[in-house]
Structure 1
Amino acid sequence: MPRSYPPEFRRKVLDLVKSGQPVRQIAADLGIHREALRTWVRQAEADTGKRPEQLTSAERDELKRLRKENSELKRANEILKAASAFFAAELGQPRTK
């Protein structure tokens, strides 16, 4: 399971990378997997506009929220379709007393 690092720690590590120290060395010194650190660097670059081809953190959050909302709406739609089919079948049958 991936470890979670506090945002302040990530900012300090990214400052070390910006100072010119090699990513591999920083990762080894701090016990962070170097690919995790590279991911942080790429995301920071996207957030500052240096990687326009990559989604910013805000865009990623919005995409996640919209996907969740879309899933919930699809589920609600399926429930409404099933309910309308049920009631349509009930109305189509002759009533018996």
Structure 2
Amino acid sequence: MALARSSGRPVSRVAAELGVNHETLRQWIKTAEHAERPEAVAQSTKDAEIAALRKQVHELEMERDILRRAAKYFAGQTNW
């Protein structure tokens, strides 16, 4: 990828010299450029954190609902 970036030659020529498909090399370059941007890394970290928090919220809501049902059940069983 560095060779394709720094040489100034077309990606298709560099890909042919390396023996890889030119579209594959283009995708590698695009992925590397995306990974080098700090905002992309920060965004993916935020996305992962949001997904983990949503999962935790879902689990806590399920636990809450179970406890509510149990409380209703046991409240109906008392003979006060």
Query: Which whole-Å deviations, capped at 9, do the CAs of 1:32-86 have from their partners, x for residues lacking one?
Result: 83353143144157x16xxxxxx61221122122212211221221121221222
Which one-letter code corresponds to 2:5 in the other structure? K
TM-score between the two structures when normalised by the length of structure 1: 0.53
Q: Which runs of 5+ in 1 are unaligned?
A: 1-12, 49-54
Greater fraction of residues in helix: 2
**Structure with bigger RCO (C-alpha 8 Å, 6+ apart):** 2
- C-alpha separation in 1, matches of 2:4 and 2:20: 15
Q: Which runs of 5+ in 2 are unaligned?
A: none
Aligned length: 75
Structure 1 residue 23 corresponds to structure 2 residue 11: yes
Larger Rg: 2
